[in-house]
A = this chain, B = another copy of it.
Amino acid sequence: MCQEDVRDRIGYLVKQVAQAFRSASEERLRGIGLSMAQYAVLTALRDAPGAPAAELARRTFVTRQSLRDVLSGLTGRGLASVAPEPPAGGRAQPVNLTDAGRSLLAEAEAIVLETEARMTAGLSGDEAEQLAGLLRRCRAGLD
């Protein structure tokens, strides 16, 4: 049979690395009261200020409904604000970072970048480039 060991399969490895990265980041993010999901939304919010919730959902790869859960936690803590009513001639309610959100995001960014550096510590610059390229091609195969 051609049944190879589960642990050597790419899918398993990708999942495992992603999970380890997530766990490691989340562990330290918890110190400033953020989850990985919240961090992702804050980042999307910085990249797309004033975007509607549906757009943030697309950027963070979750459904609008899931994003609502995360967003309500964020607004409840004053890290993000949703316009109470759509602007004239539109339906979408723009979401924005508050000052508190921006400053907390900066802290979170440092934590996640540090974790990422730890993950790629054993790789040379060229190898990191290579890895990124291979991952992009894997992603392309899954549409």
Contacts and interface: CB of A to CB of B under 8 A. Distances in A.
Interface of A: 6, 8-11, 13-22, 24-25, 43, 47, 61, 112, 115-116, 118-123, 127-128, 130-132, 134-142
A22 B19 CA distance: 12
Nearest to A4: B113
A116 B130 CA distance: 20
Is chain A's interface secondary structure helix, strand, loop, or mixed overall? helix
Copy number of this protein in the oligomer?
A: 2
Contacts of A123: 134, 137-138
A17 B116 contact: no
Nearest to A136: B13
Given A122-B141, A138-B119, A15 B6 contact: no
